[in-house]
């Protein structure tokens, strides 16, 4: 197998998805004389969140999607933030609302998510959307698991009977990912920090989704031969290769890419794997919200796959 055939290139998958989305946003503008609009709310100055938000806005602007960036200081009162969300809910020119997580400790994530109108909840985190996903009639699907699932389906159209192991039980990735894989007839295990014999569990995986947030934790010991690996981790670590000029840190995944590469069938790199797909899925969800706002049917990419 060619080395490149092993790499699941998230950038290419994302560009292909965005190519399908672009003409839909052109149609929307022609039909309704306004752009689909995404409001992104950023609280505080966490450097990673700032980068994610910047990339979301750049991609929106490139794809005919209007973006509104709303920033608050880390000390913002919870009620001020909730009032802003209500204002965005009531603004007919805003179709999608995203509040970048994590939030400062004094703000209730649960309350913030529950305040977003589910019809504008492009993150798919509102209990209504979350419940719909788990009951098998998805409305808005969280962007990171949707992106992972989209790439998996493109690489292996029939997932039936595959053993899928997800490491990480977060609301953003692990749990919704399990629901998507289950709906495609995988046998699903969610492993986490308290799992006994994690290595043994992972070694049974035909599909391994790593969403732990621990740089390069997953090495060759965890991998079944010819497994497919989706690495959701984005970790910035200090670079100790001093031969690389002006490069004090680098991004790595939760998987030690070099150590597992020869064993796996396919793997997503970091960067250039899950990251671009997450943003493409956000564009997809925003466009979907804009069409639904006009009671205009929108084909979910999952239904057309
Ligand atoms: N923080 C990390 N991932 C996400 C995401 O998908 N959505 C939001 N709102 N915040 C995040």
pLDDT, one tens digit per residue, over 187-202 is 999 999 999 999 999 9
Q: Would residue 69 count as lying in a domain? A: yes
Q: Is 115 in the pocket of ligand 1 (CB under 6 A)?
A: no
Q: Would residue 224 count as lying in a domain? A: yes
Task: Assign residue 174 the CATH number of its domain.
Answer: 3.40.50.720
How confident is the model over 207-221, as pLDDT tens digits?
999 999 999 999 999
Domain region containing 227 = 143-276
Residue 242 has pLDDT above 90, yes or no: no
Q: Would residue 17 count as lying in a domain? A: no
Please indicate, yes or no, whether residues 107 and 155 belong to a single structural domain of this protein: no
Phi-psi region of 33 (alpha: psi -120 to 50; beta: other; left: phi over 0): left
Counting other chains too, the contacts that 75-83 makes at CB distance below 8 Å and 24 or more residues apart are: 75/104, 76/43, 76/104, 76/107, 78/106, 78/107, 78/108, 78/111, 81/41, 81/43, 81/107, 81/112, 82/111, 82/112, 82/115
Average pLDDT score over residue span 21-43 = 96
Which of the residues 35, 84, 100, 288 is marked catalytic?
A: 100
Q: How far is the CA of 147 from the centre of ligand 1 (A)?
A: 13
Which of the residues 84, 121, 123, 224 is marked catalytic?
A: 123
Please indicate, yes or no, whether residues 166 and 266 belong to a single structural domain of this protein: yes
pLDDT value, residue 243? 64
Local confidence band at 100 (pLDDT 50, 70, 90 cut-offs) = very high
Please indicate, yes or no, whether residues 269 and 153 belong to a single structural domain of this protein: yes
Q: Is 98 in the pocket of ligand 1 (CB under 6 A)?
A: yes
How confident is the model over 273-298, as pLDDT tens digits?
999 999 999 999 999 999 999 999 87
Residue 2 has pLDDT above 70, yes or no: no
pTM of the predicted model, to two decimals? 0.96
Q: How far is the CA of 100 from the centre of ligand 1 (A)?
A: 5
What is the average pLDDT value for the chain, to the nearest integer? 95
d(CA 223, CA 226): 8
Task: Assign residue 61 the CATH number of its domain.
Answer: 3.40.50.10860
Please indicate, yes or no, whether residues 154 and 102 belong to a single structural domain of this protein: no
Please indicate, yes or no, whether residues 114 and 203 belong to a single structural domain of this protein: no
Let me know if 221 is a catalytic residue: no
Residue 302 has pLDDT above 80, yes or no: no
Tally of domains within the chain: 2
For 29, the enclosing helix (H) or strand (E) is: helix 10-32
Q: Quick check: helix, strand or coil at residue 244?
A: coil
Please indicate, yes or no, whether residues 155 and 108 belong to a single structural domain of this protein: no
Which has the closest alpha carbon to 39: 83, 95, 79, 87? 95
Let me know if 30 is a catalytic residue: no
d(CA 138, CA 288): 12
Average pLDDT score over residue span 23-44 = 96
Q: Is 68 in the pocket of ligand 1 (CB under 6 A)?
A: no
d(CA 202, CA 214): 16
Q: Is 148 in the pocket of ligand 1 (CB under 6 A)?
A: no
Please indicate, yes or no, whether residues 150 and 228 belong to a single structural domain of this protein: yes
Please indicate, yes or no, whether residues 154 and 191 belong to a single structural domain of this protein: yes
User: Of 85, 118, 151, which residue sits at a domain end?
Assistant: 118
Please indicate, yes or no, whether residues 94 and 153 belong to a single structural domain of this protein: no
Q: How far is the CA of 174 from the centre of ligand 1 (A)?
A: 13
Please indicate, yes or no, whether residues 195 and 269 belong to a single structural domain of this protein: yes
DSSP for residue 187: E
Q: Is 172 in the pocket of ligand 1 (CB under 6 A)?
A: yes
Q: Would residue 136 count as lying in a domain? A: no
How confident is the model over 46-86, as pLDDT tens digits?
999 999 999 999 999 999 999 999 999 999 999 999 999 99
Q: Quick check: helix, strand or coil at residue 269?
A: coil
d(CA 100, CA 69): 11
Average pLDDT score over residue span 89-118 = 98
Residue 163 has pLDDT above 80, yes or no: yes
Let me know if 239 is a catalytic residue: no
Please indicate, yes or no, whether residues 87 and 148 belong to a single structural domain of this protein: no
Q: Is 101 in the pocket of ligand 1 (CB under 6 A)?
A: yes
CA distances from 20 to 52, 66, 233, 245, 287 (A): 23, 18, 27, 39, 11
């Amino acid at each position: 197998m060619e080395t490149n055939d092993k790499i699941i290139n998230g950038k290419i998958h994302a560009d292909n998805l965005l190519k399908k989305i672009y003409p839909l946003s052109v149609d929307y503008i022609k039909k309704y004389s306004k752009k689909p609009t995404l409001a992104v709310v950023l609280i505080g100055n966490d450097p990673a969140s700032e980068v994610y938000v910047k990339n979301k806005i750049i991609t929106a602007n490139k794809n005919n999607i209007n973006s509104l960036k709303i920033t608050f200081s880390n000390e913002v009162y919870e009620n001020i933030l909730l009032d802003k969300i209500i204002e965005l809910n009531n603004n007919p020119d805003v179709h999608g609302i995203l509040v970048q997580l994590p939030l400062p400790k004094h703000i209730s994530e649960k309350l913030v998510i529950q305040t977003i109108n589910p019809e504008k909840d492009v993150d798919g985190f509102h209990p209504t959307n979350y419940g719909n996903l788990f009951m098998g009639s998805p409305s808005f699907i969280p962007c990171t698991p949707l992106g992972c699932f989209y790439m998996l389906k493109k690489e292996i159209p029939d997932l039936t009977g595959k053993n899928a192991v997800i490491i990480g039980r977060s609301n953003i990735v692990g749990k919704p990912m399990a629901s998507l894989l289950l709906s495609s007839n995988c046998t699903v295990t969610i492993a986490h920090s308290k799992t006994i014999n994690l290595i043994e569990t992972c070694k049974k995986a035909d599909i391994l989704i790593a969403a732990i947030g621990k740089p390069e934790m997953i090495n060759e010991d965890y991998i079944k031969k010819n497994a497919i690996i989706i690495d959701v981790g984005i970790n910035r670590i200090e670079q100790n290769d001093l031969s690389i000029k002006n490069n004090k840190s680098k991004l790595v995944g939760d998987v030690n890419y070099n150590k597992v590469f020869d064993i796996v069938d396919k793997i997503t790199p970091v960067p250039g794997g899950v990251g671009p797909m997450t943003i493409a899925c956000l564009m997809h969800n925003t466009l979907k919200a804009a069409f639904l706002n006009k009671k205009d049917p929108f084909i979910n990419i999952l239904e057309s796959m």
